[in-house]
């Protein structure tokens, strides 16, 4: 029978590097910006509701003695989204707590699971940010994401409980965005989308694409116009980006294939509860009834609400 250990291995422990490397998760500058700069909090309630003004009051020039039109005008409505819930489960075998302790534990198993849970939650939310939450490309219990919010009615007739045509049937009016199918991406096409979403001092400040679409866009920009930026928040935290009409253009690895998004992130609200357990909190470890194993959940409650869809655009079906 072969010996398990020799002179060396019977006297020498293996060296475990006391740190971990993530080879699973990707990166999302959009989720990072929303969580850092666009997070808002709600105390309670069944829905998140935001009032919008969609029609002008009557008025104009008049002549002496002319009667005014004093009929009532409906000018306001509200966008409304449900509260959405997410969890990440962690299960640890009770017996492993006996083994993973003391100087023999180069890393703590619990800490590794907690770090994984945080990244897994970010992945789930970052993925669903780009979906619809209406049951078309993501479940109705998922975030009400950008695909449903940024549209002109071509793909999604309603958003936030409001039928788009009840307010306006034109692009970049009411809750309609600019939408175009653009198999061959062109600078003139991107400029048209950008211009349609520009109102006074309000314009797109972040443009998101997958790596292949970003590469196509990068190759089409003239050499004297192509430069990386270093001053924006996405650049400062390590994401590569360039400038187009003053907006940061960057890659989001959770964005869906073949699309480019033009976002005015001032009008994208990332809502999260004030209840600590559901604001990326932990339920605590709970023991099973029939064994020594423990489980715990990492939690989120909130939703995404886009209140300025007309200030944004979506280009789809990009292949070259």
* pLDDT tens, the chain, 320 aa long: 677 887 777 777 777 777 777 777 788 989 999 998 999 999 999 999 999 999 999 999 999 999 999 999 999 999 999 999 999 999 988 888 888 888 777 678 888 888 899 999 999 999 999 999 999 999 999 999 999 999 999 999 999 999 999 998 888 999 999 999 999 999 999 999 999 999 999 999 999 999 999 999 988 876 545 455 555 655 444 455 688 888 989 999 999 999 999 999 999 999 999 999 999 999 999 988 888 899 999 999 999 999 999 999 999 999 98
Residue 66 lies in a domain: no
Give the per-residue pLDDT at 231. Answer: 55
Give the per-residue pLDDT at 163. Answer: 95
- 250 DSSP 8-state letter: E
For the stretch 198-235, pLDDT in tens is 999 999 999 999 999 999 998 887 654 545 555 565 54
User: With contact defined as beta carbons under 8 Å apart, do 141 and 84 qualify?
Assistant: yes
Give the per-residue pLDDT at 312. Answer: 97
> Which residues constitute the domain of residue 132?
29-48+76-316
Give the Cα separation of 110 and 92 in Å (integer): 8
Give the Cα separation of 272 and 304 in Å (integer): 9
Q: Report pTM.
A: 0.88
Residue 56 lies in a domain: no
Give the per-residue pLDDT at 240. Answer: 59
- 103 DSSP 8-state letter: G
Give the per-residue pLDDT at 121. Answer: 94
H-only helix segments in the chain: 29-37, 96-99, 109-128, 146-149, 187-196, 211-220, 233-236
Residue 282 vs residues 279, 297, 303: alpha-carbon distances, Å: 9, 6, 19
Give the Cα separation of 108 and 112 in Å (integer): 6
Among the listed residues 221, 217, 226, 240, the one whose alpha carbon sits nearest the alpha carbon of residue 318:
217
Give the per-residue pLDDT at 85. Answer: 98
For the stretch 35-90, pLDDT in tens is 989 999 999 999 999 999 999 999 999 999 999 999 999 999 999 999 999 999 99
Give the per-residue pLDDT at 160. Answer: 95
Among the listed residues 266, 218, 280, the one whose alpha carbon sits nearest the alpha carbon of residue 244:
218
Residue 133 lies in a domain: yes
Overall domain count for the chain:
1
Among the listed residues 258, 201, 265, 252, the one whose alpha carbon sits nearest the alpha carbon of residue 37:
265
Residue 96 lies in a domain: yes
Token pair in block for residue 110: 């619990």
In sequence order, the 6+-apart residues with CB closer than 8 A to the CB of 86 are 121, 124, 125, 299, 300, 301
Give the per-residue pLDDT at 224. Answer: 45
Q: CA 302, 313, 123, 19 torsion: positive or negative?
A: negative
The CB density around residue 19, as the number of other CB atoms within 10 Å, is 7
């Amino acid at each position: 029978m072969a010996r398990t250990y020799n002179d060396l291995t019977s006297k020498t422990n293996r060296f475990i590097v006391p740190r971990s490397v993530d080879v699973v998760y990707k990166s999302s500058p959009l989720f990072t910006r929303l969580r850092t700069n666009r997070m808002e909090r709600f105390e309670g309630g069944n829905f998140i509701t935001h009032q919008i003004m969609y029609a002008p009051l009557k008025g104009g020039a008049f002549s002496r003695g002319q009667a005014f039109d004093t009929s009532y005008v409906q000018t306001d409505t509200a966008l409304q989204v449900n509260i959405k819930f997410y969890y990440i489960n962690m299960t640890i075998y009770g017996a492993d707590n006996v083994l993973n302790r003391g100087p023999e534990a180069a890393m703590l198993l619990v800490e590794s699971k907690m770090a994984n849970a945080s990244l897994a939650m970010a992945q789930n939310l970052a993925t669903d940010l780009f979906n619809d939450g209406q049951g078309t490309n993501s479940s109705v219990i998922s975030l009400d994401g950008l695909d449903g919010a940024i549209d002109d009615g071509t793909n999604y007739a309603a958003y936030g409980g409001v039928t788009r045509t009840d307010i306006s049937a034109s692009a970049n009016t009411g809750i309609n965005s600019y939408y175009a199918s653009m198999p061959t991406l062109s600078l003139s096409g991107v400029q048209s989308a950008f211009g349609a979403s520009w109102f006074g001092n309000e314009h797109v400040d972040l443009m998101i694409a997958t790596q292949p679409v970003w590469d196509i866009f990068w190759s089409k920009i003239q050499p004297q116009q192509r430069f990386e930026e270093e001053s924006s928040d996405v650049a400062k935290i390590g994401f590569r980006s360039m400038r187009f009409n003053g907006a940061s253009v960057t890659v989001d690895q959770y964005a869906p294939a073949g699309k480019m998004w033009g976002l005015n992130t001032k009008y994208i609200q990332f809502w999260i509860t004030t209840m600590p357990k559901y604001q990326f909190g932990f339920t605590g470890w709970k023991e099973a009834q029939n064994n020594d194993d423990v489980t715990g959940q990492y939690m989120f409650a909130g939703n995404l609400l886009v209140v300025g869809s007309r200030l944004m655009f979506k280009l789809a079906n990009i292949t070259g």
